[in-house]
Amino acid sequence: MFGLKKQMGLAAAAMAVAAVTANAHPDSLVLTPPLGWNSWNVFHENINETQIKEVADAMVSSGLRDAGYIYLNLDDNWMDTKRDANGDLQNHPKTFPSGMKALADYIHKKGLKFGVYGDRGKRTCHHYNSNWVSENGSYMHEEQDAKKFAEWGVDYLKYDNCDPAPGSNQEEDYTRMSKALRNSGRDIVFSICAWEYKDWMPKIAHLWRTTFDIGPEWRSTSWYRGVYEIIDANDKYWKIAKPGNWNDPDMLEVDNRNLTYEEQKSQMTMWSIMAAPIMISSDVRKMSDQVKELYLNKDMIAINQDSLGVQGHRISNVDGKQVWTKPLRNGDLAVALLNDNTSTQTIECDFADIGVTGEVEVRDAWQKKDLGKLNHVSVEVPAHGSVLLRLILEPVPREPFKGKAFAIPGKIEMEDFDVSGIGQGNVSYSDGDSENQGNSDYRKGTPVDIYEKTDGRIVIGYNQKGDWLEYTVDVAETGEYTLGAYVASANETSSFKFSVDGTDITEEISVPKGEGDDNYDDYNLVEKKVNLTKGEHILRFTVTSDWMDIDYVQFEGSGTARIGKKVAQSRSAGLVKGERNAYSLTGRNLGRETKKRSNGMYLLR
């Protein structure tokens, strides 16, 4: 969601890294982009049981499975044109005579997952385009088909967009299948193939096609889209991707006709940097060593599978010479250099232009080589070629928002979470979307949803499952404390928990539902007994069920005076006339200043 923009500093880069949630939506099936194989680009409609079993064997023997390519997905034409006497989808009797359950069992025994293809309309695309009389679409059969998929042992459904029923609604059709899969009793990855992105898709699916079908050319001369055209189109959706929700720029065309080696390598480079699902679609039973090396490159896979889940995006494009970046979980930065020209070009990248100061260790993924400490690169890149680098950055520690740890016993305002640093363990928040949905600029530059209530209180709202905030705290003495959280919700199912240094100190705590409808102003103080150890720690607040607001948390020891219910006040409370709060560029409260100024923002030295 957040990448590094040109001339961003490291503090801003930290904010970019911190903006990404760690939980999937609607669940946790694909927290990293799915890797696997799909039948369409190589075999099209001409698939059969023997061939698919051989592909499964090859995925194991070649090392693809162990490298992470675990999904084996059948595309169109595995099914018969007719449903059975019960109205169920059924396998084609000649090409898949043993049935789908038997095939799924074979694939599962290989340590792979099994995927199938379906369509939201009356017929699948191949049957529709062949003008066959067929009833293999899932329109108004969603619950029945999802249960059948679960019965067979299906792990992944690619759901196409052909032959929609007259008067049908695309969003409603896909939503029905999404709900049916969730109700099927089996975890099934839902992949929407509607040939373009729409805003409702992340709410119901794990991945969705952002573009029309890909073809085996750099730029298309036919009805499909070329590899570069797909790259260019997919880039505009980079902020949407996150763990559990992925933009899908379609399958690989590697090892198929027409593409040069450099173009094939560039597709791997760009699918890696864009955190795209990587679905091989070539005949892996007879791939060359050169192609196998592309698929199995560990550095490339690590960048694609990085758990931070940020989709890399284009930083610059000068005469077809492009620089792309992707922040990684441990604080490193992946960089792709892409040449869209028809001749070799020199591509230069000054690391300061992508937010990296000084010299850093650089590794070339395709060369599998460490390049040493550099502050820039200048590379001769072949026509339609690419370079994939990993910049290994030194960690920058997190800092308490107000410069020192919160004292316990005491009160913590939830909007005063730590200032993020760089690298693993130095990120202080995770939010499920890339924008601050609130109305306050109190922590401008973060996506945490901060609201100022009408009475002047600052609260954290729009909280969704998996969101979390962290605070550096200093516990005065080891012992039992009363934790009190001031919370509100319009739902009966909202909940949260607290942990210290990665260990839960509470179970899930329910949030009382406010009186009336959609009432997020009816706050309640919810209390729990917790045990804390003396010293400095990291306190984490985690949302465990959607849609709650939280104002503050307080800790009281047995010998401390009760803090009591918070008196509503604004951030300007306590300021005398002429005073104002001053903040650093990273959002830290630096104190107050009194110089008379007009309204606006100023840089103070």
Which of the residues are catalytic? 160, 213
Q: What does the alpha-carbon distance between residue 250 and residue 252 come to, in Å, rounded to a whole number?
A: 7
Element (H, E) at 314: strand 313-318
Whose structure tokens read 């604080």?
331
CA distance 551 to 459: 4
Structure tokens at 522: 């009816």
CA distances to 436, 438, 598 from 443, rounded to whole Å, are 9, 11, 22
Residue 399 per-residue DSSP state = B
CB distance 139 to 120 below 8 Å: yes
* CA atoms within 13 Å, Cβ hemisphere of 329: 15
Token code pair at residue 492: 């009966």
Do the beta carbons of residue 473 and residue 528 sit within 8 Å?
Answer: no
423/403 Cα distance (integer angstroms): 20
- Ordered DSSP codes for 317-351: EETTEEEEEEE-TTS-EEEEEEE-SSS-EEEEEEG
Give the integer Cα–Cα distance in Å for 207 and 464.
Answer: 19
Both tokens of 193, joined, read 């193939």
Question: Distances from the Cα of 330 to the Cαs of 309, 392, 601, in angstroms?
Answer: 12, 9, 33
Token pair 């005063």 is at which residue?
416
The pair of structure tokens assigned to 467 is: 């969101």
Residue pair 207/247 in contact by the 8 Å Cβ criterion:
yes
| 422 DSSP 8-state letter | B
Amino acid at 370: D
